[in-house]
Amino acid sequence: MSSFPAAPGSSPITAAAPLSLCARAPQVPADRLVAEMVPPPRFDSVRFDTYVPDPNQPSQSGAVTVLSAFAAGLGGAHLAEGSGPGGKRRWFTRKPQPPAGPRGVYLDGGYGVGKTHLLASLWHATPAAPEKKAFGTFVELTNLVGALGFQQTVETLGGHRLLCIDEFELDDPGDTVLVSSLLSRLVDKGVALAATSNTLPGKLGEGRFAAADFLREIQGLSARFRPLRIDGEDYRHRGLPEAPAPYSDEQVTKAAYATEGASLDDFPGLLGHLASVHPSRYGALTDGVRAVCLTDVTAVPDQSTALRLVVLADRLYDREVPVLASGLPFDRLFSEEMLNGGYRKKYFRAISRLTALARDAKGLVAQ
């Protein structure tokens, strides 16, 4: 037990010392990486019938109809080459041929039209066991390839009925080629695909729909995807919400000691530690953490560090872990050069998500 000094005139807070992310070096087996490719907790309960279409945007209700039919069409057995019912070996069999026509759907729309809700609903509605369906962001998929290797990833996901990729990113040509090659191999094995991507939170209406860019970048796979346009108000294009004012080091530390399951780390130290942990393990890094408390938040020094922070922000957001911090507000994490560069979409997303988690953390500070 540790005792943290309280303000004059009050009783000291006695609690277990908080956790430290910097003290963790998780080793995650490959089967867990794949098993965790499911919709994040905030989308556990979404379904097509919980999606509320805008009556002024008929494409939204149309998307539900199309995706429901797509899910229903994925029923039936998915037999790997050389296998039969009951797991018996079929020695004389031809390799299953993928069905003709589109084997994938691409949800094409601006921010805030519910693409992730619909993508998660498709995952839930597809008639297959959870271990035969995978859901992850583009970054998680590239991290999986980095952890398992390309061929092992193909073999691991090749027996799946469906792969859903949220926030397909077109800002890194190398990663785009890698994922396109992976998806091509998976389609050949009969895996159905579904994807979304997000446009930049910049000028109103700029790059609102990305289907042309998406289909061009995946090249040979374009015929496998049916673009499904979803119209709606791009409310996030109005700008990022203002980040809440940071707290003092003392307030953050005091809250960490008073909150069961909270972690407490120095922000520069945490950024350094992330370099020693593979991004595919950032989810495991936060196992059991109920709140993240950070002191001395400063501007991110370079792009490699910034991209690692983006992945951590995504994992914290997926798990709805509040973030309490001192130092700079989160909207000042990245330099103007970064925010105007090729990875600006990732940085804006990280700011938006960390800001939301900072708002969630307000209740951790004693009033």
Q: Predicted confidence band at 241 (pLDDT cuts at 50, 70, 90)?
A: low
Report the DSSP beta bridge partners of residue 226.
105
Rounded Cα–Cα distance for residues 229 and 119 (Å)? 13
Tens digit of each residue's pLDDT (9 = 90 or more) over 257-285: 999 999 999 999 999 999 999 998 999 99
Amino acid, res. 21: L
Tens digit of each residue's pLDDT (9 = 90 or more) over 76-115: 644 443 333 344 444 334 444 444 557 899 998 876 788 9
Dmax (CA) of the chain: 82
Run of H or E including 13: strand 13-15
Q: Are 212 and 222 in contact (CB under 8 A)?
A: no
Q: What is the model's pLDDT at position 82?
A: 38
Buried b (16+ CB within 10 A) or exposed e, 119-135: bbbbbbbbebeeeebbb
Q: What is the model's pLDDT at position 174?
A: 79
Q: Are 347 and 310 in contact (CB under 8 A)?
A: yes
Question: In angstroms, how far is CA 321 from the centroid of its own chain?
Answer: 14
Q: Is 196 left (phi over 0), alpha (psi -120 to 50) or beta?
A: beta
* Length in residues, the chain: 367
Asked if pLDDT for residue 116 goes beyond 60, the answer is: yes
Task: Give the contacts of 122 (CB within 8 A, at least 6 positions apart).
Answer: 67, 70, 71, 105, 162, 164, 194
Task: Give the contacts of 120 (CB within 8 A, at least 6 positions apart).
Answer: 39, 43, 46, 135, 164
Instruction: Give 172 or 118, the one with higher predicted confidence.
Output: 118
Asked if pLDDT for residue 208 goes beyond 60, the answer is: no
Q: Predicted confidence band at 180 (pLDDT cuts at 50, 70, 90)?
A: confident
Pairing of strands 291-297, 323-327: parallel
Share of the chain above pLDDT 90, in %: 56
Q: What six digits make up the tokens of 324? A: 């309490």
Asked if pLDDT for residue 225 goes beyond 90, the answer is: no
Rounded Cα–Cα distance for residues 126 and 186 (Å)? 17
In eight-state DSSP terms, residue 83 is B
